[in-house]
Amino acid sequence: MLNITNISIYPVKSLRGVELDHAAVQNRGLEGDRRWMLIDNNNRFISQRECPKMSTIRAVQVKDGLSLEFPDQTKIKVLFPDDNNDIEKVTIWNSTVEAALADENYNSFISNYLGTPCRLVYMPDWALRRVNPRFDSGNDIVSFADGYPFLIIGRTSLEELNKRLTEPVPMERFRPNLVFSGGEPFCEDNWSRIRIGEVVFRGVKPCERCVITTIDQNSGKPSGPEPLRTLATFRRSAGGTVLFGQNMIAENPGPVIKIGDEVEILEYRDRD
């Protein structure tokens, strides 16, 4: 039997996330996941790839916005933008979408801490960012996540990787939304459709991994070439990318999923 053991959201893209015991499934991701993002002076997204220190800021949802928590115990509260806030077109990878600018007074504090100019933006409900057309069933949207609304990883997959590493890495290096127990290592690669609670998810493709996996999420410092180097020795695709975890899209968003829910495999992906 496969069961959900961890549920995580990352309210601000590339900042530290929070673990939950339950979450509502929405069409663009778990409720509150990656609806905020930091952008540079060219309105392009900023991530740990360029600014590893981002991992040391913890973003927590509150009723009327965000609480940003810094390592020195400083906290700043960020209010949701209202109708008076400016709207900008922002770029994330190959996508351009409109976003609301947060109040300017938040930006200087965050910029000073990170050591780079940045602005905080929010994705309103009316702003629709499509997933890759290759995997879009016609109405599939995503938040500021890299490409798809959900990422699921099996604990046995991480255990298999850690057997090959001199120093094991924690699951947080891979920033999943859902973690499950049971099954064979990397069994999630072959899922076409699954059910968790009342929600049916469609498997999109195995997730391509990047340098963020090499950043210690506590210190915000690169830890060397691992685990990416070792993953590349046995998890490299035909196209040369390194794979770990499965990207998913919810077919019937709305219900709440919770820790302990069973993962039921409905369909497997055809193998070549």
Residue 196 bridge partners (DSSP) = 199, 263
Residue 108 bridge partners (DSSP) = none
User: Do 61 and 190 fall within a single domain?
Assistant: no
Range of the domain at 52: 34-122
User: Do 60 and 45 fall within a single domain?
Assistant: yes
Q: How many domains does the chain have?
A: 2
User: Do 74 and 179 fall within a single domain?
Assistant: no
Is pLDDT above 90 for 158? yes
Phi, psi of 159 (to 5 degrees): -60, -40
Is pLDDT above 90 for 66? yes
User: Do 10 and 111 fall within a single domain?
Assistant: no
Q: What is the mean pLDDT of the chain?
A: 96
pTM above 0.75, yes or no: yes
User: Do 152 and 173 fall within a single domain?
Assistant: yes
Is pLDDT above 60 for 272? no
pLDDT of residue 138: 87
CA torsion angle 46 48 52 54 (round to 10): 70
Is 189 exposed, middle or buried, given 0-12, 13-18 or 19+ CB atoms closer than 10 A?
buried
User: CATH code at 203?
Assistant: 2.40.33.20
pLDDT of residue 270: 77
pLDDT in tens, 120-144: 999 999 999 999 988 998 889 999 9
User: Do 112 and 44 fall within a single domain?
Assistant: yes
Of 98, 122, 146, which residue sits at a domain end? 122
